[in-house]
Amino acid sequence: MGLKVFTIDFQNLAKEKSFRYDVDFVDFQNRLSVDKYYSFKDLFQFSKNYKVNIDNLRDDFFYSEIGNVSKEGEVEPVKLNFNERKKIEENYYKKIEKGDIIQVKENNILLSKVRPNLKKYVFVDEDNKNYFYTSAFIHLIPIKLDKILYYSLRSIFYENLIAISRQGKSYPTLKEDDFIYLKFNKYIIDKFIEKEDYINDQIEPIEKKIKELKKEIKQPQEVINKVFTREFGFDIKKVNKVEQTKFFSITNDITYRNLYLRSSVRWHKIEPIQKVLYKNNPHIEKLGRYIVSTKNGWSPYCRESDSHCYVFGVNSISKDSYIKYDDLKKSNEYIKNISDYYVKENDLFISRGNTVDLVALASVVKNLLDDKNIIYPDLFIKIDVDEKRLDKEYLAHLFNSIIGRYYFKYATKGKNQTMVKVSSDELNNFYLPIPPKKTQYRIVDKIKIELDKQIEIKKIIKTERDKIDEIIEKVIN
């Protein structure tokens, strides 16, 4: 990438109220002359009526944090109820009680304050207008061109947004005060105003098609569970019913699967759950017999401006059991044995620490990017197994299925349920189905077929979304 060079008068720089001197910010301010842009306040307002009286939240309600929003702006909220407060959801309730909750209205726009470069932006429509959201979103009310501006912030005005963001310790951030400096090319906005009806008419049928396609999308765990249910002959409804049971008995041999004599109710809940899961399965063995080694990762200091190597983010481990490359960070930090932490094709990783629902989520590295050295961080555990007897993809799917999710939900330890950790003890003492390799391969193939169907649907959705960007770009060209 070439070096960008420009000159600025020091006197003008000194007049900048924010004292910002980062290159992208100064360059952006210089590129739009005074008489050729719309300011932020010409097009947007900040929402003022966003506060929520939590005393009114007496029934089920939906709540979304930034992590519940995809890079495409899709919202997958959690369902909460203060009258049915669960320990695993306690982190949500505590945040909400401290005021970390906002309400929205249709046609509002939400922008993530943290890592806005990931495009976790939400357009509030009929489907998600009744959700509540974290206050970690910047809450905007468009004065005009609402939907068009939303799509434009994701495309032609994306660089504008990133230019006003600030570099935090390791990633960019946005604050309301930064939007004072946001500018929009006057020619482009005037074109949008002139062609607003035309653009909306072109976008509407595409949005309807996307909405219909989204109905066909199944969550990865649903796909994976369906295959394991068929293969191992367990009743998933019965398993879930046992998991909800509050009173149960334990076996006479209390040391069975319990070498450390853990006395917690959570630990002993594993046995009745597995009893239903494994009722018809003759291939149950301890994972420790197959583990060759485990190794925690290393987390170097990361900055957006660094370029020496890349580091997996916590979201690189995915529910479909395959590593994602969207959440890569960058670092220039170096240690002697750095190559020991470089990722290789077919490596298997699990998340070492997370909430009880996400701890020990597993993913295998496939299609490793050839031009990048990628480090796995210390919140990952790399697991090497005897591959002559155990397939890594099969194991990753099993970790992410109901079999693994319920085990690690109750086996992991932590001071509270908002952050628990898995250790080699829990991994080694995980009783799980390990059929012959031929069966493992068959299961993996069946899961791949179903996941590939989902990938194809998502590709079609992306193609349709790209059409929206093309419509907007054609208007201004």
Tens-digit pLDDT profile for residues 33-79: 556 889 999 999 999 878 899 988 889 999 999 989 998 999 999 99
Rounded CA-CA distance 262/188 in Å is: 65
Whether 477 shows a pLDDT value over 90: the answer reads no
Rounded CA-CA distance 182/184 in Å is: 7
CATH number among 1.10.3210.10, 3.50.70.10, 3.90.220.20, 3.30.70.260, domain 10-184: 3.90.220.20
Rounded CA-CA distance 140/310 in Å is: 33
- The residue-averaged pLDDT of 347-359 equals 88
Rounded CA-CA distance 68/95 in Å is: 15
Q: What percent of the chain has pLDDT over 90?
A: 64
Q: Which residue has the higher pLDDT, 154 or 414?
A: 154
H helices, E strands: number in the chain: 16, 24
- The residue-averaged pLDDT of 167-188 equals 85
Please state whether beta strands 374-375 and 431-433 pair in parallel, antiparallel, or not at all (unpaired).
unpaired
Whether 9 shows a pLDDT value over 80: the answer reads no
pLDDT tens figures, 375-403: 999 999 999 999 999 999 999 999 999 99
Q: Write down the H helix ranges in 215-283.
A: 220-232, 236-244, 265-268, 270-277
Please, are residues 251 and 258 in contact by the beta-carbon 8 Å criterion? no
pLDDT of residue 306: 80
pLDDT of residue 446: 97
CA distances, 51 to each of 33, 76, 96, 207 (Å): 37, 21, 11, 30
What would the two tokens of residue 180 be? 């004072």
Residue 287 CB-density burial (10 A; 0-12 exposed, 13-18 middle, 19+ buried)? buried
Whether 261 shows a pLDDT value over 70: the answer reads no
CATH of domain 220-436: 3.90.220.20
pLDDT tens figures, 287-296: 999 999 999 9
Q: Which residue has the higher pLDDT, 282 or 13?
A: 282
Q: Is 220-436 the same fold as 10-184?
A: yes
Rounded CA-CA distance 311/249 in Å is: 45
Rounded CA-CA distance 410/242 in Å is: 13
Please, are residues 401 and 234 in contact by the beta-carbon 8 Å criterion? no
What would the two tokens of residue 7 be? 């000159």
pLDDT tens figures, 148-176: 999 999 999 999 898 888 876 567 889 99
Angle at 234 between CA 231 and CA 239, to 5 degrees: 140
DSSP 126-195: TTTTT-EE-TTEEEEEESS-HHHHHHHHHTTTHHHHHHHSEE-SSSEE--GGGGGG-EEEHHHHHHHHHT
Phi, psi of 4 (to 5 degrees): -90, 125
Please, are residues 75 and 129 in contact by the beta-carbon 8 Å criterion? no
Cβ-based neighbours of 322, under 8 Å, separated by 6 or more: 363, 364, 366, 396
Please, are residues 180 and 46 in contact by the beta-carbon 8 Å criterion? no
- Rg (C-alpha) for the chain, rounded Å, is 25
364, 353, 351, 359: which is closest to 321 by C-alpha?
A: 364
Please state whether beta strands 37-39 and 132-133 pair in parallel, antiparallel, or not at all (unpaired).
unpaired
β-sheet bridge partners, residue 284: 433
The SS3 of residue 392 is helix
Please, are residues 358 and 391 in contact by the beta-carbon 8 Å criterion? no
The pLDDT-based confidence of 255 (bands split at 50, 70, 90) is very low
- Burial state string for 157-176 with b = 16 or more CB within 10 A and e = fewer than 16: beebbbbbbeeeebbbebee
What would the two tokens of residue 405 be? 């999710």
pLDDT of residue 195: 96
Total number of residues shown for the chain: 477
Rounded CA-CA distance 417/87 in Å is: 7
Q: What percent of the chain has pLDDT over 70?
A: 86
The SS3 of residue 52 is coil
What would the two tokens of residue 272 be? 């009745």
What would the two tokens of residue 311 be? 């580091």
Whether 355 shows a pLDDT value over 50: the answer reads yes
Please give the mean pLDDT across all residues of the chain: 87
Q: Domain map of the chain by residue range? A: 10-184, 220-436
pLDDT of residue 215: 92
- Burial state string for 119-130 with b = 16 or more CB within 10 A and e = fewer than 16: bbbbbbeeebee
